[in-house]
Each structure stands twice: as C-alpha cells, then as structure tokens.
Amino acid sequence: MKKKIGILTSGGDCPGLNAAIAAVVSHATLTYNWEVWGIPYATQGLLERKAIALNLHGLDLHGIDPLLSIGGTILGSINKGDTLAHSKEIIASYEALDLDALIAIGGDGSLTILRELAKQGDWNLVAIPKTIDNDVAFTERAIGFDTAVNTVMDALNRLTYTAASHDRVMVVEVMGRTAGHLALHSGIAGGADIILIPEIPYSIAKICQKITELRDKWGQKFALIVVAEGAKTEEGKISCYRDSRGEVRMRGIGQYITEQIPACTNNQLETRLTILGHVQRGGLPSAWDRTIAAAFGKAAIDSIALEQYDRMVAWQNGEVVSVPLPLVLSQSPFLVNPNNFLIKTARSLGIYVGEE
Ligand code: F6P
C-alpha cells in the first residue's frame, strides 16, 4: 500500500535539517514509492491543515540538490510551548490530512509536545533528534550540534588573536540551555582557558587565580572564558527571564562573569564580552551533521516500514538504533556528567572547568 508520510521540523532550527528532509524524501520515494508531505511551521501548519508535496529532485537546479547543504529548514519551525492548548484542533486537522505516519525532527521540548499529541490522537510517530544543545538522551549526537561546535570554535580562534593583541580577558557566552555540551566541546576545541557549564559549580576566586597564573607563570597575558548560557552565578542562580509570550529565555550570565573579573584581578585586566547568540544556529551543515542527518532520515523511514512507532532514531556506537520515545523523554534534557572523560581531559589540559 502506498503510504502518505508527513514530516515537520519543530523547535529551534539548526544546520542539517534540510539534509534529513532530503534523505527522508529520497528513501521513501526510491525504496518504497511512498509520498512525503512537508508540514510548514510544525504544529502551526498542522493546525492550519497545511501540507506541501515534497518530491525527489523537487528543488533541483540543473541536477544540484541544494537541500544537502543549506542551513535552517525549508519547512520553517516554531519554538514555543503553548501548542497543547490547541490539541483538539490539531488532532482534528491531522486526521483531515490523512497521513499514515509523521516524522518529527525536534529537540526534547518539541518532541515532548508532539508525543503528547500523538498519544492523544493515536498518530504513528517517529522522531529524529536535532538540537545544537545535544541534550536529547540516548543519542550521542543530535543533528546540528557538530556544526555549532565548529562555529563556536571558529569564533574562539578569531577572538584569541584580538584578546592576545590587547592583553584582554574575553568572555564568550554560548547557547545550550540547561546543558553544557556545546560549551565544553567547543571550549576544548577552541583553546579556552576556562569553561563554565551549568552542571559544575565554580568560584570567581578560582577563575581569577587561573587568569593570574596564566599571566605570572606562563606569560600568557590574555584569557579566553567560555560560559554556557545556562551556567549559574557563583551563588547558584540561573540568569534567565520570561519573554512577552511567557517563554523562559537564558540571558545574563556572560555579563555577570565579565563584571566579576576586574574586582578580583585588582582592576588590572580589561574584560570584554561576546554573546554569540543565533550565529551558532546558522551556516552550512558540517560533513558530520549531513552524514547523521542522512542516516537518521533513512532509519526513520525504515522504522515506518517496520511499523515501529513512538520511537526515536538515535546515534549510538557508530550506528543508528531505535529507542522508545517515552524513555528518551523521561531522561532528557541529558546533561554533562561532571566526571565524564571530556571534563577530565579539559582538566588535564589545564583548563579550569569549575569545582576542585
Ligand atoms: O535549543 C536550542 C537553542 O538555540 C538554545 O540553545 C537557546 O537557548 C534557544 O534555542 C534559543 O531559542 P530562540 O531561538 O527561540 O531564541
């Protein structure tokens, strides 16, 4: 029987989403001869009963498929949490679209909402993990993380030269919400001297001690501090606010750290703050993100062929596996283990990552 598959992207965008959409369309069309329909703007599109036919080579330019390499998502996305207020209408609209299954590409927040809708509406749901925060449980990688790590690393490389030229302390605030994966990976790759993440408490005195030691012992007159947006103040307070729609947004920790440094370094050091913001979600997907996007897209279609629903495709030990979605959501967001090998690696490189 020819199936009609829906696909949507939900939550914050990231590079690699289009590569996953392309893989889903290719495998569904070439292997199973199924139809794939894109739902624009996730649950918003469902609510409005909108679906766009996605065809193999539909966006080709003389045979060049741009989907593999362009960032963002051609389907559009929304990043808000009030969707369940409209669950009845969304479920009625889903039925009207007459889909056999739905592939949802999202992070843990979006997947929690979509799974609830799928449960209420009895949908055949398969999830693909994406998020630059890399905090979806049971998958070593989510689409978008690798590209974001490279983007932050590139920014740190650039900031190193200007920091060194002016003997300054550069504080760089990076995304990640409550998880420190992005800060930790990019901080190590980008040569940070200090990495502050939500999972590990730190002391301002030790940060200043590290900066002084770099200067006095090693002759390094600048310092690079990477701070995750979800890192807490020394007293354990989260820096966030509610936007006009009531959504929690992270803001302020970079400013807080920047303001602490002068006092404990006898005002001898100039400190500057860079908030990388949505630059981290932009750009072309890395080779790794394109590769896992392709593997996830294929696996999601195979999961539908096997009628394995309420599951998420996941990257574990070099291959794609299928994990029950409720299990994934019960363990997400997946945070950095303060005793993991990367924390130990950072410490062995002389990077201050808090505590101790
Ligand atoms: O979850 C991805 C993410 O980029 C977080 O790292 C960040 O806190 C948030 O989304 C920003 O959301 P928005 O794009 O809605 O401002």
Q: What is the pLDDT of residues 115-142, one digit of tens each?
A: 999 999 999 999 999 999 999 999 999 9
250 lines ligand 1 (CB under 6 A): yes
| Calpha distance 68→70 (Å, rounded) | 6
Look at residues 45, 127, 125 and name the one whose alpha carbon lies nearest to residue 93. 45
DSSP run (H or E) holding 162: helix 145-166
pLDDT score recorded for residue 101 = 98
Q: What is the pLDDT of residues 234-261, one digit of tens each?
A: 999 999 999 988 888 999 999 999 999 9
Cα(174) to ligand 1 centroid in Å equals: 10
DSSP 173: E
Answer whether 189's CB lies under 8 Å from 135's CB.
no
Residue with the smallest CA separation from ligand 1 atom 2 is 12
pLDDT score recorded for residue 328 = 98
Question: What is the total residue count of the chain?
Answer: 356
Instruction: Please tell me whether the overall predicted TM-score, pTM, comes out greater than 0.85 for this model.
Output: yes
| Calpha distance 191→152 (Å, rounded) | 11
* Nearby residues of 191 by Cβ (< 8 Å), 6 or more positions away: 156, 157, 160, 224
Pocket test for ligand 1, best of 79, 111, 229, 253 (most atoms within 8 A of CB): 79
| Calpha distance 145→281 (Å, rounded) | 9
> What's the token pair of residue 36?
């794939």
Cis link prior to 201 (omega < 30° from 0)?
no
In three-state secondary structure terms, 347 is: helix
In three-state secondary structure terms, 137 is: coil
pLDDT score recorded for residue 65 = 85
Q: Residue type at 108?
A: D
pLDDT score recorded for residue 187 = 98
Handedness of CA 160, 354, 345, 240 (dihedral sign): negative
Strands laid side by side in the 125-129 sheet? 52-54, 35-38, 4-9, 101-106, 125-129, 311-316, 319-324
| Calpha distance 281→131 (Å, rounded) | 9
| Calpha distance 213→18 (Å, rounded) | 46
Q: Which of 13, 65, 108, 133 is the catalytic position?
A: 133
> What's the token pair of residue 92?
């009625």
What backbone phi and psi angles, to 5 degrees, belong to 248? Answer: -80, 125
* Residue keyed to tokens 């629903």: 309
322 lines ligand 1 (CB under 6 A): no
Look at residues 292, 297, 316, 11 and name the one whose alpha carbon lies nearest to residue 126. 297
* Residue keyed to tokens 């329909």: 37
| Calpha distance 316→323 (Å, rounded) | 10
135 classed as catalytic: no
Cα(77) to ligand 1 centroid in Å equals: 12
Q: What is the pLDDT of residues 147-170, one digit of tens each?
A: 999 999 999 999 999 999 999 999
Look at residues 22, 189, 30, 7 and name the one whose alpha carbon lies nearest to residue 103. 7
pLDDT score recorded for residue 304 = 98
DSSP 232: B
Low-confidence ranges of the chain (pLDDT < 70): none
